[in-house]
Amino acid sequence: AWRKHQVKGFKDQDGFEREVVRHVETTLARSMYNCDESAAYSATALAIRDLLIRRWNRTQQRQTFTDSKRVYYLSLEFLMGRTLDNAMLNLGNKELAKAGLSELGFRIEDVIQQEQDAALGNGGLGRLAACFLDSLASLNYPAWGYGLRYRYGIFKQEIIDGYQVEVPDYWLDFNPWEFPRHDVTVDIQFYGHVVKSTDENGRVVHRWEGGETVKAVAYDVPIPGYGTSTTNNLRLWSSKAASGEFDFQKFNSGDYESSVADQQRAETISAVLYPNDNLERGKELRLKQQYFWVAASLYDIIRRFKKTKRPWSEFPEKVAIQLNDTHPTLAIVELQRILVDLEGLEWDKAWNIVVNTFGYTNHTVLPEALEKWSVPLLQHLLPRHMQIIYDINLFFLQTVEREFPGNFGLLRDVSIIEESQPKMVRMAFLALVGSHKVNGVAELHSDLIKTTIFKDFVQIFGPDKFTNVTNGITPRRWLHQANPRLSELISSKTGGYGFLKDLTQLNRLEEHINDADFRREWAEIKYANKVRLAKHIKETTGVTVNPRALFDVQVKRIHEYKRQQMNIFGAIHRYLKLKAMTPEERAKQLPRVSIFGGKAAPGYWMAKQIIHLINSVGAVVNNDKDIGDLLKVVFIEDYNVSKAEMIIPASDISEHISTAGTEASGTSNMKFVLNGGLIIGTCDGANIEITREIGEDHIFLFGTLAEHVEELRHSHLYGKHELNPDLARVFEEIEKGTFGNPDGFASLISAVREHGDFYLVSDDFQSYIDTHAQVDVAYRDQEAWITSCIKSVASMGFFSSDRCITEYAEEIWNIEPLKVKDED
Ligand code: 26W
């Protein structure tokens, strides 16, 4: 009987408007007479959401009914950004909504801007997870994401007097995209002790007892695919006190304060996203977050598996779990514990299941980013897990000893336990030993992990355990949504929007490379995007920039290895050269806007100095009458996903200039090229593959190669280290006080001049500024420049996250797509 009552949602503009009005008047309890943009956003989101829910339910039913193998993507970060625009585009009803909103008196662009970013991530790793969810749904793969529902996402960045100030990001006030599942909860245990005994069959059994319990509550977020009904699920866990609101026993006995304190302590677990990117700090709360999330997710996955009544041996045929870096590595230990301690499987049988279930993706080779947890801390928080880690290590080292007898150096080097004071658990080694595949995220990076951090493991496991899956980006958000005019132009030349599902179709643009109208329109779109960014810069910083100038952009987390310091030193060098010129010479120069954006981890002193230097240089250069339009230096506050959607399409040249061998992949490099910008970059990460695809004539490469980095670093420490003269001149100017009190910049200079220049800023400086001079020359030939841009875009098909996800699905997860019938 219920079938005939199923809600059908809206089908046309009229239906859309009716739903918006209904939500304003009933769900929001407001009148259309005082419906502002914020209410219009809420009601539009609710109307669109109603369509998602039905597809979402159908997708889940179908996946369960067909008993399909699913992949579970475990990530501590999902940097989703805004949802409404993306949902409308994926559902294919944005035009209808635009017309409907216009009829109701709103501009859809303004309504979309009302939404706050879901900023549950730091940078590359978190945004990659978000692109993967989009591709998994768009390709109809049965997949769930599992993460934490942070009350505070990455902090909001304000620039005050040139310094970064962190402000909390309270984003949950109104979030129509999540569904609390108060009936889906898991009790998570911490601390306590292990009781060892023997059962009636003489088997040793371990029971983990005592300690405290925290409740995990599920919040579900629908993830719509593009041009398909498939709507997958992202499940985020929120923590709360296991005893409910507060402990009534304590409350009744008069201990009100401590009952509230218990509750607050429990809620602290999912309260905040750790704002470190590529830096490991070993905090107990972070470990608690990791176990809380991993244990809840595994419990949930196993509960689903158990409903199928299959034997445990078939677990890896139904479940693939991907570890997004080492943050979820405890899942390996937790599954082994469940199988051995709770389900009574033999160790080896259990371990086989575990290894066949997990895959591990490494995202960084920086030593300071590799996770290690102290043994005493683990012992205290998770006593049984620590025992199991010791056993995993023992059995692993026994197999190594059998193959390489007497090689104690090797045993020490590959041990999951580092014999330091205190002992540490090397999470990357644990993840590697407990997975059937380990992958890097770009070719160079995947080669590097095999020759550096995991070298000995290639000997032990053989090379087939290691593979490369070069990162990708979703063209839906990063072209169609961020740059709608370019997307439309491309569609008019490639035969429709098929390229959004098969990005290799971009190569059809090649045929139109000489089409003058097409080229003019291409240039116009870039210009319009630059005008829009110039307007934002004016509104937020007060600086007027000329949209005809070359826009030179570096936006990403601030980190010494990414070398924003080299970029700003380069800008100072340019400023000094301009100052030394006669007005006649100056008149011949190409105007340039140097645009920076990115957050520094709150405790990262050097990164904060870099931000301060950029702002201080801007304050001088931007107000120098001799310079005018020839150079502007701007720092865009609070770089995030929605800012990226505006900045990236407006770039002429973007900077991906990490010291070779340090940036695992980079993904914004792909976004910039896809939006018709060129790159200045080092031979690092995915820059190398981008060069291979688009051709070396269309990219400005410079700098030391990864293979020479070590010897150069060594020579800095032991040989003589001559500072590049142009860089010396820049330092002199900073130290003279041209950009304000130089004390605040002293450690940026001494890192290069006195402390070994670990990131090779001085070594690469000459080729960096020379290459920028080539950029200036190239930009003057606008026709050749546009040809380069179009040719590059035509060759970017490889970098779709659809290609990337297909590789994971086929090579690592062994899962198949599953179509859901389109009902509406
Ligand atoms: C424990 C602290 C911590 C936090 C985050 C350590 C490491 C991380 C991430 C692994 C850092 C990260 O985001 N890595 C980036 O991953 C991207 C997606 O693969 C790559 O494109 C970037 O090059 C890499 O820096």
DSSP state string for 425-476? EEHHHHHHHT-SEEEESSHHHHHHHHHTTTHHHHHHH-GGGEEE----B-HI
- DSSP for residue 320: E
Q: What is the pLDDT of residues 199-208, one digit of tens each?
A: 999 999 999 9
| Nearest atom (ligand 1) to Cα of 127 | 18
Distance CA 591, CA 633 (A): 11
Q: What is the pLDDT of residues 697-742, one digit of tens each?
A: 999 999 999 999 999 999 998 877 899 999 999 999 999 999 999 9
Specify the amino acid at residue 340: V
Q: What is the pLDDT of residues 490-537, one digit of tens each?
A: 999 999 999 999 999 999 999 999 999 999 999 999 999 999 999 999
**Distance from Cα 144 to the centre of ligand 1, integer Å:** 21
pLDDT of residue 568: 99
Buried b (16+ CB within 10 A) or exposed e, 92-111: ebbebbbebbeebebebeeb
- DSSP for residue 479: I
Helix residue ranges per DSSP H, 556-705: 564-580, 583-587, 605-621, 641-647, 668-674, 687-694
Architecture of the domain defined by 475-808: 3-Layer(aba) Sandwich (3.40)
Q: What is the pLDDT of residues 288-310, one digit of tens each?
A: 999 999 999 999 999 999 999 99
Distance CA 301, CA 627 (A): 62
**Residues sharing a CB contact under 8 Å with residue 179, sequence separation 6 or more, in sequence order:** 219, 220, 221, 222
Cβ-defined contacts of 414-420 (< 8 Å, 24+): 414/456, 414/457, 414/460, 416/389, 416/392, 417/375, 417/389, 417/390, 417/393, 418/372
Q: State how beta strands 550-555 and 424-426 pair.
A: unpaired
Q: What is the pLDDT of residues 746-770, one digit of tens each?
A: 999 999 999 999 999 999 999 999 9
pLDDT of residue 53: 95
The encoded tokens of residue 341 equal 């301690």
Burial (Cβ within 10 Å: 0-12, 13-18, ≥19) of residue 466: buried
Of 128, 279, 284, 364, best ligand 1 pocket probe by most atoms within 8 Å of the beta carbon: 364
Helix residue ranges per DSSP H, 66-188: 84-91, 94-103, 108-112, 124-138
- DSSP for residue 645: H
> Whose C-alpha lies nearest to ligand 1, atom 13?
125
Q: Are 415 and 222 in contact (CB under 8 A)?
A: no
Q: State how beta strands 358-361 and 319-324 pair.
A: parallel
pLDDT of residue 246: 53
Distance CA 431, CA 454 (A): 11
**Catalytic residue list:** 363, 556-557, 562, 667, 671
**Distance from Cα 670 to the centre of ligand 1, integer Å:** 16
pLDDT above 90: percentage of residues in the chain: 94
* Closest to 653 measured CA to CA, from 789, 796, 510, 473: 789
- DSSP for residue 24: I
Distance CA 279, CA 557 (A): 12
Distance CA 490, CA 502 (A): 13
CB distance 444 to ligand 1 below 6 Å: no
pLDDT of residue 261: 87
pLDDT of residue 258: 80
| Nearest atom (ligand 1) to Cα of 441 | 19
Residue 823 has pLDDT above 70, yes or no: no
Q: What is the CA radius of gyration of the chain?
A: 28
Distance CA 634, CA 742 (A): 20
pLDDT of residue 247: 62
Residue 265 has pLDDT above 60, yes or no: yes
**Distance from Cα 424 to the centre of ligand 1, integer Å:** 21
Q: Is the peptide bond before 328 cis (omega within 30 degrees of 0)?
A: no
Distance CA 531, CA 120 (A): 30
pTM for the full predicted model: 0.97
Question: pLDDT-derived band of residue 248, with 50, 70 and 90 as boundaries?
Answer: low
| Nearest atom (ligand 1) to Cα of 361 | 19
**Distance from Cα 664 to the centre of ligand 1, integer Å:** 8
**Distance from Cα 366 to the centre of ligand 1, integer Å:** 9
* Closest to 72 measured CA to CA, from 178, 147, 146: 146
Q: What is the pLDDT of residues 312-360, one digit of tens each?
A: 999 999 999 999 999 999 999 999 999 999 999 999 999 999 999 999 9
- Three-class secondary structure of residue 332 per DSSP: helix
Query: CA dist 145 to 72, 334, 560, 802, 809, Å?
Result: 6, 18, 31, 16, 15
Q: Please report, for the chain, the start and end positions of each structural domain, with discontinuous segments joined by +.
A: 277-309+326-345+360-430+451-465, 475-808
pLDDT of residue 705: 98
Q: Are 387 and 206 in contact (CB under 8 A)?
A: yes
**Residues sharing a CB contact under 8 Å with residue 758, sequence separation 6 or more, in sequence order:** 560, 713, 716, 751
- Kindly state the greatest CA–CA separation across the chain: 96
pLDDT of residue 253: 74
Cα dihedral value 51, 52, 56, 59, nearest 10: 70
In DSSP terms, 376 is beta-bridged to none
Question: pLDDT-derived band of residue 820, with 50, 70 and 90 as boundaries?
Answer: confident
| Mean pLDDT in residue range 147-157 | 98
Which of 203-212, 242-251, 475-484, 737-746 comes out lowest in average pLDDT? Answer: 242-251
Which single residue is written with the structure tokens 């026993």? 249
> Whose C-alpha lies nearest to ligand 1, atom 7?
278
Q: Are 72 and 146 in contact (CB under 8 A)?
A: yes
pLDDT of residue 687: 98
Q: What is the pLDDT of residues 565-578, one digit of tens each?
A: 999 999 999 999 99
